[in-house]
């Protein structure tokens, strides 16, 4: 069989569009913390890196900081 990332984690409907928690917007969740399926290897890593970059830029924007 094909190995995939572990299913389960924080439901996407518990997160805002910037990956911050709806109930605790000062905290964020990315990568395999979130309930998503992905093939292992480069695709999984790229998904985690992209989510981290997006969440980081959103955090900077919330505080009026330009990257």
Reported as a single tens digit per residue, the pLDDT across 1-57 is: 565 666 788 999 999 999 999 999 999 999 889 987 766 666 778 888 999 999 999
**Distance from C-alpha of 45 to C-alpha of 65, rounded to nearest angstrom:** 27
Q: 67 pLDDT band (50/70/90 cuts)?
A: confident
pLDDT at 45: 82
pLDDT score for 10: 93
Chain length of the chain: 67
Contacts for 6-15: CB closer than 8 Å, 24+ residues apart? 6/32, 7/35, 7/37, 8/35, 9/33, 9/34, 9/35, 9/36, 10/34, 10/35, 11/35, 12/36
Q: What does the pLDDT read at residue 55?
A: 95
């Amino acid at each position: 069989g094909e190995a995939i990332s572990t299913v389960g984690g924080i439901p996407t409907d518990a997160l805002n569009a910037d990956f911050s928690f709806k109930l605790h917007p000062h905290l964020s969740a990315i990568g395999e913390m979130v309930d998503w399926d992905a093939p292992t290897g480069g695709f999984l890593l790229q998904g985690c890196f992209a989510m981290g970059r997006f969440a980081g830029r959103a955090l900077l924007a919330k505080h009026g900081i330009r990257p």
